[in-house]
Structure 1
C-alpha cells in the first residue's frame, strides 16, 4: 500500500450492493458495498491502521453507496457509528468509524451522533467464531442518550453481524429505532 493506493487496488474496488438480513433478526437488514477480498483487507487496514487518506476515501465511497441504497428502502435517518475499543482508538490516534461517519454525514447531509460507548473489555474478534463473537460482545456496548428518529448503524465490515446486533440492542434499550446496518465491506459469514 505504501503512501498511496495502487492502480490494481483501485481497479478492484467497485462498489455494488450486498444486502443480507440477519439470522438472529430478519427485520434488521445490513447493506454493504464491497465484498471482502485480499484487496479489500489491504484497503481496510490502510485506512484503520495507517490513516491513509486515499484508503479513507475509498471506504467513504463504499459507505455512501451502501447508505444511498439503505435510504431508498428506509427513508431518512441518523448515522450512529460503531466505536472502536478505547485501547484501539488510542493506538490509532482516532475513533476510526466516528471519523468516517462524520465525513459521510457531511457528504450526504444526514446527522451523525456518537451515541455508543464500550462499558467493558472485549477480546479481539478476528479469531473468534460466530458463537464466541456473540458471547464476547454481549452487554459490551451502552447507548448514551435517547435520540428521536430512525438510526442507521455505520461500521467498516460485517462478518457475523454480532457487533451490529450488540449496538442495536444497546440503542433499542434507550427506545431508539434502529432500522438497518450500513457497512463498507461484507465478508462471508462464519459458522
Structure 2
C-alpha cells in the first residue's frame, strides 16, 4: 500500500514543480528547476568504488560534489522529486557499467529507506530515481534493526554499526543489481550485498547515482548524513 501512496505523492510533487516558481537546484538561477549548465554537470561519468569487506565494486554515475550534490540534496531534503529525472541517467550509467552489454534478467534491488525517512519524505529516494531510469525495482531488502547514527564514525565503525541490520527475501537463485543514491564509505551497500548473498542471490552488479570524494589523508569521506538519514 505504501508503494502506491509513494508513487501518487511523487506524481503530485512532479506536477507542483510546474506550478510553483523555483530556483535552479544546482546554482540558484531563478525561475528554472535546473538550468542548462547544471543539467550538463549531471552528465554521467561513472567511477568505481571499492566496497569494504570484499563486498565488491560499485559503479557510481557521478561524483557527489558541487552541482550533483546540490541536486541530490534538493531531492532528499526539499522533496523536489521532479529533479530525479535529471539524476536518472547517472544511475542508469552505473547499472550499465555493472552489466555491460550482456542481456541477462536481473532484479533491481534498492537499499531500503528507514521508516522515519519514508514518513518524512513520502517517497524512497533510490526507488524513485531507479524508476525514473526505467528500472523496475524489487524491494527484497528489509531492515531487521535500526542502525545507530553514522556521523562521526570511522570506516570500520560504520561497517560494524550496520552489520546484520538487513535481511533479504525472495531472491534465492536470482541475479540482482543493488542500487542506492549516494555511496559514502560503502558500509550500507556492503551490508546489503551480504544479506542478499546469504539469502541465495548472486550479485550481478552494484550501482549508485553518486559517490562522495575522499578527503586527503583521512580515509574518511564527505557527507556522513547520507548514510545516517536514509
Contact 1:59 1:184 in 2 (8 A): yes
1:4 equivalent in structure 2: 33
Contact 2:176 2:204 in 1 (8 A): yes
Contact 1:74 1:179 in 2 (8 A): no
* SS of match in other structure, 1:24: helix
Alignment of 1:37-56 (within 5 A): 37-56=65-84
After superposition, the C-alpha distances for 1:69-98 in whole angstroms (9 at most, x for unaligned) are 211176532200001111111101112212
TM-score normalised by structure 1 residue count: 0.86
- 1:53/1:23 Cα in 2 relative to 1: closer, same or farther (>3 Å)? closer
**1 CA distance for matches of 2:78 and 2:128?**
14
Asked if residue 149 in structure 1 is aligned to residue 174 in structure 2, the reply is: yes
**2 CA distance for matches of 1:49 and 1:63?**
19
| Aligned-residue offset at 1:126 | 4.4
**2 CA distance for matches of 1:5 and 1:22?**
32
Rg larger in structure:
2
**1 CA distance for matches of 2:191 and 2:103?**
23
Asked if residue 119 in structure 1 is aligned to residue 144 in structure 2, the reply is: yes
- 1:175/1:74 Cα in 2 relative to 1: closer, same or farther (>3 Å)? farther
1:140 equivalent in structure 2: 165
| Aligned-residue offset at 1:188 | 2.6
TM-score normalised by structure 2 residue count: 0.72
2:114 equivalent in structure 1: 85
Deviates more, 1:92-101 or 1:72-81: 72-81
Contact 2:111 2:179 in 1 (8 A): yes
**2 CA distance for matches of 1:123 and 1:5?**
35
CA RMSD of aligned residues (A): 2.2
- 1:125/1:59 Cα in 2 relative to 1: closer, same or farther (>3 Å)? farther
* SS of match in other structure, 1:94: coil
Contact 2:178 2:203 in 1 (8 A): yes
**1 CA distance for matches of 2:191 and 2:93?**
24
| Aligned-residue offset at 1:13 | 1.8
Alignment of 1:15-26 (within 5 A): 15-25=44-54
Asked if residue 14 in structure 1 is aligned to residue 69 in structure 2, the reply is: no
Structure 2 unaligned blocks of 5 or more: 1-24, 221-230
